[in-house]
Amino acid sequence: MTANVRKFIDIRKGQQVYVVPKGDSFVVIPLGGEIDSELQKLMGDIKFDRAARRKAEAFLLKQAK
C-alpha cells in the first residue's frame, strides 16, 4: 500500500491486514501483533482446510480482476 493509503487507514508499513472483498471494492482491516487471535475474532469458528483455502484464493483473485 502507498504511504498515503497507510496514513489514511492508520496502518504502518509491513503491518498485516485482513482484506475482505465487498462488491467492487475491498474492506481493509488492520491486524494487531497477535494475528491468529485477531483473525479468530474476525472469523469466528470458521476453519479452512487446503481445499477451502484454494477456493477462497481463487474467488478473491477473480474478484480483484
Asked if residue 1 has pLDDT above 70, the reply is no
Sequence spans of domains, the chain:
15-64
Instruction: State yes or no: pLDDT of 65 exceeds 80.
Output: no
The pLDDT assigned to 27 comes to 86
The pLDDT tens digits of the residues spanning 5-58 come to 777 777 888 888 888 888 888 888 887 767 667 677 777 777 767 888 888 888
For the full predicted model, state whether its pTM sits above 0.75.
no
- Dihedral angle computed from the Cα positions of residues 34, 46, 63 and 26, in that order, rounded to the nearest 10 degrees: -40
Q: CA 28, 36, 41, 31: dihedral to nearest 10 degrees?
A: -30
Name the nearest CA neighbour of 28 among 10, 53, 55, 51: 10
